[in-house]
Structure 1
Amino acid sequence: MHRCDDNMPFLLQYEHVAWYENGRVRILDRRIYPTEVRFVECVTYHEVVRAIADMVTQSAGPYTAVGMGMALAAYECRDKGKAEQAAFLKQAAYDLAHARPTTANRYGIITNHCADVAAQALENGEDPIDKIVEATVESLNRRYSTMQTVGDYLADLIPSGGTILTQCFGETIIGTVMRAARKQNKTFRVFCAETRPYLQGARLTSSCFAQMGFDTTVITDNMVAYAMQHEGIDLFTSAADTIARDGHIANKIGTFQIAILAKYFGVPYFVTGIPDQDKMSRQDIVIEMRDPAQVLSYRGIPNTVPEVKAIYPSFDVVPPHLISGVVTDQGVYAPYVLNHYFDRQVKAFY
């Protein structure tokens, strides 16, 4: 089976994201990586839903996990009649897609396609489990190859020998921009904001860049202004969990304030990703509110006294006037004309 994860760091290899095999889905527990390399094993698709909701995998990881979760759902209902299997998989597609609300539209494209593939397999007398796994790997290949084009465009924007700042864990774009830079014989320094409260920038993004040989530095989230003022940041970049047609984007909480600082210091901010066809404007973006307890403690260690409260909006929204460009597979768009992305025929991404 052809795969597009060659020359990718550990975190971006398919089996190290989420993988179905023999009635189980193994998901790398990114909450504790790289302190430990441990996988969460799911034996029902509901456990996959819970793993996604509990942040066992984040960023683009759930795009793989929901597909593999559909294979597990097919395994669970394998002894039922065709009609019962179809109904079971339709429900699984909905449940997996809605594991996290902000990106339910994207997950749903994958899970509904898996349900359709399974239905066709049943009609053809084929194994729906195998066909769903194949469809999920094909989806991975589409995303990796499409994001390689995005990574090529982003690498063109980074000055050779320059310094970039990242926010959270952009996953696929991280691997593809590194492959593009190597192809161009381009080197650059990377500063990674740690991204509280889960520290994805510190634990995940910095690990990928460092493992691939890039000069990598982690800063706490409140050091961004200092780094822009004193460390020669040439470019700020992030992926986006949602890109609306009107140029608003949603990304990990904290992205908005970094974008404001970038504007103040004259540092261009380039968002990477594929616009969401069904998100017309800011009003279509749903912000997930997570359990405040995740702010009050980390890895079971309380950060506060019991009387203290917290809030945890998982994402915030960056308005288009703070974005220098949205880097897509069709090139770089000014955010105010992003809707023109859909003037061309759009290839399947998920």
Structure 2
Amino acid sequence: MMKRQDEGMPFLLRYENVAWYEDGAVRILDRRVFPHEKRFVTCHDYHEVIKAIQDMVTQSAGPFTAVGMGMALAAYQCRNEEENKQVAFLTKAADELGHARVTTANRYSVITHRALKKQMQTLKEGKSAVEAAFNDTIESLNRRYATEQKIGDNFVKMLPNNSSFLTHCYAETVIGCIIRAAKVQGKTFKAYDTATEPFFQGAKLTASCFAEGGFDTTMVPDNMVNFVLEQGKIDVFTTAADSVTMDGYLVNKVGTKQNAILCHRVGVPYFPTEIPDLDKKDHRDIKIEMRDPEQSMEFEGKKYTMDGVKSIYPAFDITPPYLINALVTDRGIFSPYNLSAYAEMGGEDFY
């Protein structure tokens, strides 16, 4: 049995607590109510996995695991059909799961179509397509966690001891890897985490991981970032990214750009931790997901605005390279203006 890469990770990042297939169902931790409630959403149809992703039951890199486990569930759903019908069903599932969210469809689709390829081969051999997708998802998790650990190691290595950094949203695996790297390297730090409206991923998820890891953790309400920066409390701004295009633009949770602008104004460097998307050459091809604006006017199901009040809810924004000091990757630290140097090292099977 392969060694799992989630050893020593915070609760949120252990494989079973991200998304997990077992006995004809996919169980997904509901991050919308964490940490005051540890509740799981159980999906018995792969379409329910898609809805869970779209409803933000899981987000950041959580859907990478969910769509893989969703392919295992799809195989379970069609297990009694003839082989050609199973292939047709699984092909449709791979496309639909892969496009659960438009901005990150390229990353999801790599996972679902690789699982599909392995499932088709397995069916020809008369073996279980369920196990093929499940095992591929675990391999994918191990591969990503190992790669993210290199990123975390490089990020912590560049920080002086007792540094403080600002985060926005939830950077998923790399947070656990930063925590592990700091402990190995004997460093400590202070984490300042924006609340990140409207789902408060920073307050609920990021801050929980750092606090669980034993680090000094402060939640910063979104409208107080400039105040904290001007107090001189922050040494570095960092986030992960939902995409980094090869022309140096970074797509991440909406609000990332305005925080980068504020940091640029006061001289705080922005060092995002992510690998570039070799298949995304130009930021102008990015499609920003526009979510239901009603979701931005409620908290945990309770609306807090008067009827008739309108809102807007883009899921992401795009930060230009002039606001990014350098990209911290698994292969070192790169200028956003020279990501071709990363590409020249050759692509790897990351997802």
Of 198-207 and 229-238, deviating more is: 229-238
Of 276-285 and 202-211, deviating more is: 276-285
Match of 1:13 in 2: 14
SS of 2:339's equivalent? helix
SS of 1:272's equivalent? coil
Match of 1:147 in 2: 148
Q: Is the 8 A contact 1:158 1:164 kept in 2?
A: no
Match of 1:233 in 2: 234
Match of 2:258 in 1: 257
SS of 2:37's equivalent? coil
1:208 aligns with 2:209: yes
Scaled by the length of structure 2, the TM-score of the pair is 0.99
Of 121-130 and 105-114, deviating more is: 121-130
1:4 aligns with 2:5: yes
The amino acid across from 1:140 in the alignment is: L
Match of 1:285 in 2: 286
Q: 1:157: Cα distance to partner?
A: 2.1
1:329 aligns with 2:342: no
Q: Report the Cα distance in structure 1 between the residues aligned to 2:12 and 2:101, rounded to whole angstroms.
A: 21
Match of 1:34 in 2: 35
Give the share of equivalent positions with the same residue, in percent. 53
Q: Report the Cα distance in structure 1 between the residues aligned to 2:268 and 2:221, rounded to whole angstroms.
A: 19
SS of 1:269's equivalent? coil
SS of 1:270's equivalent? coil
Of 22-31 and 334-343, deviating more is: 334-343
Count how many residue pairs are aligned between Structure 1 and Structure 2: 350
CA deviation map 1:294-344 (0-9, x unaligned): 111111222211111000000000000000011111111100001221111
1:199 aligns with 2:204: no
Q: Is the 8 A contact 2:25 2:73 kept in 1?
A: yes
The amino acid across from 1:181 in the alignment is: A
1:317 aligns with 2:304: no
Q: 1:190: Cα distance to partner?
A: 0.5
SS of 1:213's equivalent? coil
1:104 aligns with 2:105: yes
Match of 2:52 in 1: 51
Q: Report the Cα distance in structure 2 between the residues aligned to 1:120 and 1:167, rounded to whole angstroms.
A: 41
Structure-to-structure mapping, 1:296-315, within 5 angstroms: 296-315=297-316
Structure-to-structure mapping, 1:121-136, within 5 angstroms: 121-136=122-137
Q: Report the Cα distance in structure 1 between the residues aligned to 2:69 and 2:54, rounded to whole angstroms.
A: 15
* 4+ residue runs over 3 A deviation: none
Q: Is the 8 A contact 2:278 2:347 kept in 1?
A: no
Q: 1:289: Cα distance to partner?
A: 0.2
SS of 2:234's equivalent? coil
The amino acid across from 2:183 in the alignment is: R
Q: Report the Cα distance in structure 1 between the residues aligned to 2:164 and 2:154, rounded to whole angstroms.
A: 17
CA deviation map 1:214-273 (0-9, x unaligned): 000001001111111115200000000010000001000000000001101110101111
Match of 1:89 in 2: 90
Structure-to-structure mapping, 1:157-176, within 5 angstroms: 157-176=158-177
Q: Is the 8 A contact 1:45 1:70 kept in 2?
A: yes
Of 179-188 and 300-309, deviating more is: 300-309
Q: Report the Cα distance in structure 1 between the residues aligned to 2:148 and 2:298, rounded to whole angstroms.
A: 35
Q: Report the Cα distance in structure 2 between the residues aligned to 1:297 and 1:40, rounded to whole angstroms.
A: 20
CA deviation map 1:102-127 (0-9, x unaligned): 00000000000010111111111211
The amino acid across from 2:83 in the alignment is: K
CA deviation map 1:31-66 (0-9, x unaligned): 110121000000000000100011000000000000
CA deviation map 1:53-110 (0-9, x unaligned): 1100000000000000000000000011111111110000000011100000000000
The amino acid across from 1:70 in the alignment is: M
Q: 1:8: Cα distance to partner?
A: 0.1
Match of 1:137 in 2: 138
Q: Which stretches in structure 2 are left out of the alignment for 5+ residues?
A: none
Q: Report the Cα distance in structure 2 between the residues aligned to 1:278 and 1:306, rounded to whole angstroms.
A: 43
Scaled by the length of structure 1, the TM-score of the pair is 0.99
The amino acid across from 1:135 in the alignment is: D
The amino acid across from 1:276 in the alignment is: D
Q: Report the Cα distance in structure 2 between the residues aligned to 1:43 and 1:301, rounded to whole angstroms.
A: 27
1:79 aligns with 2:80: yes
Q: Which stretches in structure 1 are left out of the alignment for 5+ residues?
A: none
Q: Report the Cα distance in structure 2 between the residues aligned to 1:159 and 1:286, rounded to whole angstroms.
A: 37
Provide the aligned C-alpha RMSD in A. Answer: 0.8
